[in-house]
């Protein structure tokens, strides 16, 4: 388990993390989300003992990372896939990690096979693609068979097969009862993988809830309905207090209700329906709504449009 309480980290005049508190529970994949500069990487670095907190605590199973004699047995982490020495082979890199943490040599071969690098383990890392470096970093994180795992953007550089693989791996690790914290900008992946989401902005906590709670709490359900008698249906909906408006000549949009409610009304009025569906907020939409006031750098769509028009 990862426990963060009142965590604050300053770099001179820059407040990177501001009184942040949340837990990462075992048996779940926790997605760690936020705009660039939100403080995600800083928080992870403090958890892993790479930075000291200005105030507050970041503990792993009730202890600070620096107190572990053999840390890879307790916490596995992938922060920078480019940190491995480029002149070493993958096997040599992992042997060093195993030796320095008192791990048996057999673990090297086990994690090489688990991440799919068996055919490339003798090659020097400098010849690896970003996706292969990611796999190597994940192998290093797993080598101590730790109960806590921290991954910063593990999907970067992976091809479609690799993305499917990491999705399954994260799910398996959580199902084994491990604590799994994952940051990612790929919200579609987080929507599929994460059981819980921690969202931060400008170093402060914005949301800490299950993925479903965030989607249902922010994602107002919208119903799309199409009928040959859309005028009458629109009048009946509005007359009963529904927030309805026209999309086109035949289609209506109804906010904050269900397809069942709209369908039941149409049926009671004997109105024909040609289409009826619910449109729910995606995680991307919910995330943008949550972080709208916490984005440090905004692009100008108007400026871009003007530039394109001038070309």
How confident is the model at residue 303, as a pLDDT? Answer: 41
Residue 108 scores a pLDDT above 50: yes
Residues 151-163 have a mean pLDDT of: 90
| Reported confidence tier of residue 309, pLDDT bands at 50, 70, 90 | very low
What dihedral angle (degrees, nearest 10) is formed by the CA atoms of 110, 177, 149, 193? Answer: 100
Query: What's the CA gap between 165 and 227, in Å, rounded?
Result: 44
Between 157 and 127, the more confident residue is: 127
How confident is the model at residue 310, as a pLDDT? Answer: 40
Q: Which of 112, 115, 81 is nearest to 95 (CA)?
A: 112
Quick one: which H or E segment has residue 57?
A: strand 55-60
Asked if 298 contacts 245 with a C-beta cutoff of 8 angstroms, the reply is: no
How confident is the model at residue 302, as a pLDDT? Answer: 40
| Reported confidence tier of residue 6, pLDDT bands at 50, 70, 90 | very high
Query: What's the CA gap between 266 and 3, in Å, rounded?
Result: 51
Residues 24-39 have a mean pLDDT of: 94
Over the chain, what is the mean pLDDT? 89
| Reported confidence tier of residue 300, pLDDT bands at 50, 70, 90 | very low
Residues 93-109 have a mean pLDDT of: 95
Residue 236 scores a pLDDT above 90: yes
Q: Indicate the domain borders of the chain.
A: 2-210, 220-279
Q: Which of 5-14, 19-28, 106-115, 221-230 has the lowest mean pLDDT?
A: 221-230
Alpha helices in 129-220 (DSSP H): 130-142, 160-175, 187-193, 211-218
Give the model confidence (pLDDT) of 70-83 as tens digits: 999 999 999 988 88
Give the model confidence (pLDDT) of 120-132 as tens digits: 999 999 999 999 9
Between 42 and 288, the more confident residue is: 42
Residue 100 scores a pLDDT above 70: yes
Query: What's the CA gap between 192 and 135, in Å, rounded?
Result: 20
pTM of the model as a whole: 0.76
Matching CATH topology for 2-210 and 220-279? no
| Reported confidence tier of residue 294, pLDDT bands at 50, 70, 90 | low
Query: What's the CA gap between 56 and 205, in Å, rounded?
Result: 14
Residues 188-206 have a mean pLDDT of: 90
Residue 304 scores a pLDDT above 50: no
Residue 198 scores a pLDDT above 60: yes
Q: Which CATH number fits domain 2-210: 3.40.50.300, 3.20.20.80, 2.60.40.10, 3.90.1150.10?
A: 3.40.50.300
Q: Which of 137, 175, 181, 180 is nearest to 158 (CA)?
A: 137
Please check whether the domain covering 220-279 is classified as CATH 3.30.70.790: yes
How confident is the model at residue 90, as a pLDDT? Answer: 96
């Amino acid at each position: 388990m990862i426990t963060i309480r009142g965590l604050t980290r300053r770099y001179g005049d820059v407040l990177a993390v501001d009184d942040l508190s949340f837990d990462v529970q075992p048996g779940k994949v926790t997605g760690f989300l936020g705009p660039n500069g939100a403080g995600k990487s800083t928080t992870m670095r403090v958890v892993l003992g790479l930075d000291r907190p200005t105030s507050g605590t970041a503990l792993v199973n009730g202890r600070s990372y620096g107190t572990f004699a053999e840390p890879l047995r307790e916490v596995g982490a992938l922060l920078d896939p480019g940190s491995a020495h480029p002149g070493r082979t993958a096997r040599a890199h992992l042997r060093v990690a195993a030796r320095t943490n008192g791990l048996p040599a057999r673990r090297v071969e086990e994690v090489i096979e688990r991440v799919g690098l068996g055919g490339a383990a003798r090659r020097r890392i400098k010849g690896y693609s970003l996706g292969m470096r990611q796999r190597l970093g994940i192998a290093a994180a797993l080598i101590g068979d730790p109960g806590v795992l921290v991954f910063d953007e593990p999907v970067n550089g992976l091809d479609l097969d690799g993305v499917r693989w990491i999705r399954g791996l994260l799910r398996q690790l959580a199902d084994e009862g491990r604590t799994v914290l994952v940051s990612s900008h790929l919200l579609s992946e987080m929507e599929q993988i994460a059981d819980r989401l921690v969202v931060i902005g400008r170093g402060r906590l914005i949301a800490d809830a299950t993925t479903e709670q965030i989607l249902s709490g922010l994602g107002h359900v919208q119903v799309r309905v199409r009928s040959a008698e859309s005028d009458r249906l629109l009048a009946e909906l509005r007359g009963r207090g529904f927030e309805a408006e026209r999309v086109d000549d035949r289609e209506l949009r109804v906010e904050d209700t269900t397809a069942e409610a709209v369908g039941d009304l149409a049926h009671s009025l004997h109105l024909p329906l040609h289409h009826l569906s619910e449109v729910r907020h995606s995680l991307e939409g919910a995330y943008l709504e949550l972080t709208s006031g916490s984005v440090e750098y905004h692009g100008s769509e108007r400026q871009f449009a003007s530039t394109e028009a001038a070309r």
